[in-house]
């Protein structure tokens, strides 16, 4: 356990956590939120109870204290308050009466305990004066003290106090840029801490309304906040969890809850209540779900069907997307596939939507329906095919023995867009059908004919035949590890630079001279890009040439080549500086 004793200290915890996380972690520890503390093989694990139970691990990460926690904050890479609480619990355990004397000797001064002892000896008037003085300079402390003082006036005062605290914390006073978002989120998090105190049998009903108010205010405010780091979103999710927990505890009227949840999901811009019918299904029960469904159906009936002739962008409207998602969730809850298909059939404006329906049927082990919808989608969009739908159909055709149709559809993809990815698909299907040698020959002949036709095609900007682009042929040959075919193709026309380099690297040692010629063919084009990154890439290629030429005993020829480069590119001073380093290298 030497590593933990050396790494976990008050100083290291304060250094790794920000001030807010350290203070809250100390509160968690002081409240007894840490349990199941266990250390083994240089790793400390614990459970910390907050809004829910979080699993914490502290360990030696290359000589520094590493951490892992199941909370959202830790997932973003921060040393969270739960990790602080676990570390403090470990220190407290080590300082106990049964701790080894060597550990006791290493125990460091605890300034917090010293401050606590000092404050405990002061009269109340002194403490009040000190606290008010700090609150005058710390707005967050002021808000916390104000909220706690207003809560002492009874239920009505508590409600108004929390409402004011929520509104003040969520208020933005203009746009909040990313530099200010951390402080803004910290205020919201403090407000959420106060709300969490209401999560008990006596005040859960009050918490429901307050959490809804907080979510609504924060969602509105987010329109004016740059929350790139997701700090405000994390607080929003936390309050959403509190709302659900409060509903489970208080069991509010299911129909009234359904009405509010539907309104929130249908209108809130940042979707805190997304899939609320599923998330709150136990709280809503049959009565609440039925009311939720009634409201959703009434809105759904206003949505007009979209088909292949509708390209007005209606399917991108947020209102349509939201009610569609709601209806899909309700259908998934019911487990009725046909209900889900009916919902998805309201928008058949793209081949991909047909694919979604076909996939549902396939998952439900109804291949005939899946096939029918996939074929219908392909027929509906002959001018705008979706290759994902084609791939789905190919797989189904192969499963049901319609091999010729599977091969033909794969060929159509390749012919319409001859790229390596579709050549691989053709190879996969034909290999499965045990006819790849014949189909391969056909594909290579088709590629040769296509590139020659393209090179010989004239147009407004092309007045004479072009040199054939052999890039695809080289790419295919490299994938098939046919280096001779790649070498032949490269010398039959133009080729992408990266493929020439790839072939040069793939050639075996006996073909070092061929590799050198390929590198030397590419280097001028790289240098011609005239930027430092290109120069560095060119130098890497020149080093490869140097190694190969040295291996062939061509030291003199290498020196002449480097001298020629220096003369040719003498105006490119940054390149020449890098070249000078190469010239002084012993390969």
Q: Give per-residue pLDDT as tens, 135-157.
A: 677 666 666 666 666 666 666 66
Pairing state of beta strands 53-61 and 64-69?
antiparallel
pLDDT for residue 453: 81
Q: What separation in angstroms does the CA of 69 have from each of 35, 59, 75, 196, 296?
A: 14, 12, 7, 20, 38
CB atoms within 10 A of CB 219: 20
Q: Per-residue confidence at 96, pLDDT binned at 50, 70, 90? A: low
pLDDT for residue 586: 75
Q: How far apart are CA 547 and CA 582, in angstroms?
A: 11
Q: Per-residue confidence at 1, pLDDT binned at 50, 70, 90? A: very low
Q: How far apart are CA 345 and CA 354, in angstroms?
A: 8
CB atoms within 10 A of CB 307: 13
Whether 409 and 393 have beta carbons less than 8 Å apart is answered as yes
| Residue 346 predicted with pLDDT over 80 | yes
Measured in Å, how far apart are the chain's first and last C-alpha atoms? 49
pLDDT for residue 106: 43
The pLDDT mean for the chain works out to: 88
| Residue 454 predicted with pLDDT over 80 | no
Identify which has the larger pLDDT, 339 or 71. Answer: 339
Question: Among residues of the chain, what percentage have pLDDT more than 90?
Answer: 63
Q: Per-residue confidence at 71, pLDDT binned at 50, 70, 90? A: confident
Q: What separation in angstroms does the CA of 407 have from each of 124, 148, 380?
A: 87, 73, 21
Of 537, 540, 574, 545, the closest CA to residue 562 belongs to 545
pLDDT for residue 103: 37
Q: Which H or E element spans position 547?
A: helix 532-551
Q: What's the mean pLDDT in 327-347?
A: 96
556, burial (CB in 10 Å: exposed 0-12, middle 13-18, buried 19+) = exposed
Q: How far apart are CA 394 and CA 426, in angstroms?
A: 11
Q: What separation in angstroms does the CA of 549 have from each of 176, 515, 560, 579?
A: 61, 10, 12, 16
Radius of gyration of the chain (CA): 34
CB atoms within 10 A of CB 133: 10
Helix, strand, coil percent content, the chain, rounded in steps of 5: 70, 5, 25
Give the distance between the most distant pair of CA atoms in the chain.
99
pLDDT for residue 140: 62
pLDDT in tens, 16-59: 888 888 888 898 898 888 988 888 767 899 999 877 788 899 98
Q: Per-residue confidence at 107, pLDDT binned at 50, 70, 90? A: very low
DSSP state of 469: B
Instruction: Calculate the dihedral angle through the C-alpha atoms of 215, 217, 222, 224, rounding to the nearest 10 degrees.
Output: 180
Q: What's the mean pLDDT in 355-363?
A: 97
pLDDT for residue 179: 86
Q: What's the mean pLDDT in 174-188?
A: 90
pLDDT in tens, 393-440: 999 999 999 999 999 999 999 999 999 999 999 999 999 999 999 999
Helix axes 512-527, 497-506, angle to 10 degrees: 150
Identify which has the larger pLDDT, 133 or 156. Answer: 133
Identify which has the larger pLDDT, 98 or 538. Answer: 538
pLDDT for residue 144: 66
Whether 242 and 211 have beta carbons less than 8 Å apart is answered as yes
Identify which has the larger pLDDT, 137 or 350. Answer: 350
Residue 18 in 3-state DSSP?
A: coil
Rounded to the nearest angstrom, the gap between the alpha carbon of residue 216 and the centroid of all alpha carbons in its chain is: 26
pLDDT for residue 75: 76
pLDDT in tens, 457-513: 555 554 445 688 999 999 999 999 999 999 999 999 999 999 999 999 999 999 999
pLDDT for residue 115: 78
Interacting residues of 586 by C-beta distance below 8 A, sequence separation 6+: none
């Amino acid at each position: 356990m030497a590593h933990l004793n050396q790494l976990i200290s008050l100083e290291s915890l304060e250094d790794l956590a920000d001030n807010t996380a350290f203070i809250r972690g100390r509160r968690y520890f002081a409240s007894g939120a840490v349990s199941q503390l266990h250390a083994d093989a240089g790793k400390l694990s614990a459970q910390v109870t907050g809004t829910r139970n979080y699993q914490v691990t502290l360990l030696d990460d290359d000589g520094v204290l590493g951490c892992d926690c199941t909370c959202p904050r830790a997932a973003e890479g921060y040393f969270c308050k739960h990790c602080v609480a676990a570390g403090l619990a470990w220190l407290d355990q080590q300082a106990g009466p049964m701790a080894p004397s060597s550990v006791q000797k290493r125990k460091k001064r605890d300034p917090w305990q010293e401050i606590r002892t000092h404050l405990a000896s002061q009269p109340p008037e002194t403490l009040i004066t000190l606290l008010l003085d700090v609150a005058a300079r710390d707005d967050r402390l002021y808000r916390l003290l104000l909220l706690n003082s207003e809560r002492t006036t009874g239920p009505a005062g508590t409600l108004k106090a929390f409402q004011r605290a929520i509104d003040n914390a969520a208020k933005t006073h203009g746009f909040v840029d990313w530099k200010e978002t951390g402080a803004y989120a910290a205020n919201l998090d403090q407000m959420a801490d106060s709300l969490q105190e209401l999560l008990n049998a006596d005040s859960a009903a009050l918490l429901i309304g307050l959490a809804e108010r907080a979510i609504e205010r924060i969602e509105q405010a987010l329109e004016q906040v740059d929350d790139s780091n997701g700090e405000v979103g994390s607080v929003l999710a936390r309050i959403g969890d509190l709302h659900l927990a409060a509903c489970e505890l208080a069991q509010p009227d299911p129909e009234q809850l359904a009405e509010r949840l539907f309104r929130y999901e249908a209108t809130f811009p940042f979707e805190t209540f997304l899939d609320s019918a599923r998330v709150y299904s136990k709280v809503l029960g049959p009565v609440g779900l039925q009311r939720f469904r009634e409201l959703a159906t009434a809105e759904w009936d206003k949505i007009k069907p979209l088909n292949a002739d509708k390209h007005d962008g209606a399917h991108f409207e947020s209102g349509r997307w939201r009610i569609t998602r709601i209806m899909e969730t309700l259908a998934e809850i019911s487990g009725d596939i046909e209900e889900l298909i009916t919902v998805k059939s309201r928008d058949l404006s793209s081949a991909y939507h047909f694919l979604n329906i076909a996939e549902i049927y396939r998952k439900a082990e109804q291949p005939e329906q899946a096939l029918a919808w996939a074929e219908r989608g392909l027929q509906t969009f002959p001018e705008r095919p979706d290759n994902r739908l084609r791939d789905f159909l190919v797989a189904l055709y192969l499963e049901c023995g319609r091999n010729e149709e599977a091969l033909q559809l794969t060929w159509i993809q390749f012919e319409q867009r001859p790229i390596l990815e579709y050549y691989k698909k053709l190879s996969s299907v034909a290999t499965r059908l045990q006819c790849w040698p014949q189909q391969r020959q056909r594909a290579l002949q088709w590629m040769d004919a296509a590139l020659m036709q393209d090179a010989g095609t004239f147009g407004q900007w092309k007045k004479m035949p072009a040199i054939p682009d052999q890039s695809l042929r080289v790419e295919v040959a490299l994938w098939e590890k046919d280096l001779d075919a790649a070498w032949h193709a490269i010398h039959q026309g133009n080729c992408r630079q990266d493929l020439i380099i790839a072939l040069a690297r793939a050639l075996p040692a006996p073909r070092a001279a061929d590799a050198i010629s390929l590198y030397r063919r590419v280097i001028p084009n790289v240098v011609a890009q005239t930027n430092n990154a290109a120069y560095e890439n060119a130098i890497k290629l020149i080093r490869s040439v140097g190694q190969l030429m040295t291996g062939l005993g061509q030291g003199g020829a290498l020196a002449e080549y480097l001298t020629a480069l220096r003369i040719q590119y003498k105006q490119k001073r940054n390149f020449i500086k890098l070249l000078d380093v190469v010239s002084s290298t012993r390969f």
